[in-house]
Amino acid sequence: MPSNALTADQRATFQALEAVIAEGVAKFVAVGSALMQIREDRLYCESHGTFANYLTDRWQMTARMARYLIEANQINADIGGEGTSEFQVRPLARVPSERRRDVWERAREGAGDAPVTAAHVTAAVEESLSEVAADTNSVPEDEDNANSGVVDSDLRLVPAVIADVFDQTLFTDALNVLRQLTGVVNQIEGGPWGDMLIGTTEGVTLRNRIQEVRDTIKWAAPHAVCPYCEGSAEFCEPCHGKGWFNHQQWSNTPADIRQRS
């Protein structure tokens, strides 16, 4: 378990922010704001190694849902705090911040006297995007810089050019195999063959060696987009041109650099 102890003030802040979340996701603005501060100040680090693990263990919340709530907090600010739910304002994420108010007003006009729904907002967004496309000479989006929809362990969007790297399938499969192997080895070591195994491994149990392999695999797994090059990887010394950091590299990165990424 992580041993990054919080100060008394940090723990009090953390508990107060968790209380906001516990009141219910219906208060989506307060929840999004609380989640954002917990992520940015890394207040989860005393009990969890990553923000994503904290979300799953503490709130049974996916990283994607948390990102929606955090985004909704900013979106609602852009439209004057008039949104009533995360789902309602979510379509506005496709619109630049400076245009969201205008699109929201269009959704209100479309709703008439009825409450504004996500469908009204979606229709207004689609109409606005169509107008922009028609009024400009569209330039194809740079695939290297496009957002992939994939997020890293700290809920940062991963550029499309390195999205495949963040596919954890192989790492998960490898760890599952090692977990199964550990179970089998435990049975062997607990049986009449156990002494022979220890004798042939110079006193080091096979479980320890398997654990070393597991730790090595976990160490190699991508954790976060490089905060220096933001995934572009070109001529980036901190990430050695990869565009991403493993958990150790991320933990060793100064907090001010992590937070502005």
DSSP 167-219: --HHHHHHHHHHHHHHHHHHHHHTTTTHHHHHHHTTT--HHHHHHHHHHHHHH
* Nearest CA-CA partner of 73 in 100, 53, 110: 100
Whether 14 contacts 39, CB under 8 Å: no
Cα–Cα dist 94/102, whole Å: 13
Task: Give this prediction's pTM.
Answer: 0.47
Whether 197 contacts 206, CB under 8 Å: yes
pLDDT in tens, the chain (261 residues): 455 788 888 888 888 888 777 664 447 788 888 999 999 888 998 888 888 889 989 998 888 888 888 888 889 889 988 888 888 888 898 888 888 999 999 999 999 999 899 899 999 988 888 877 666 544 444 444 455 567 777 777 788 888 888 877 888 888 888 888 888 877 777 777 666 665 554 545 677 778 888 888 877 888 888 887 887 766 677 887 888 888 878 878 887 777 655
Cα–Cα dist 7/81, whole Å: 33
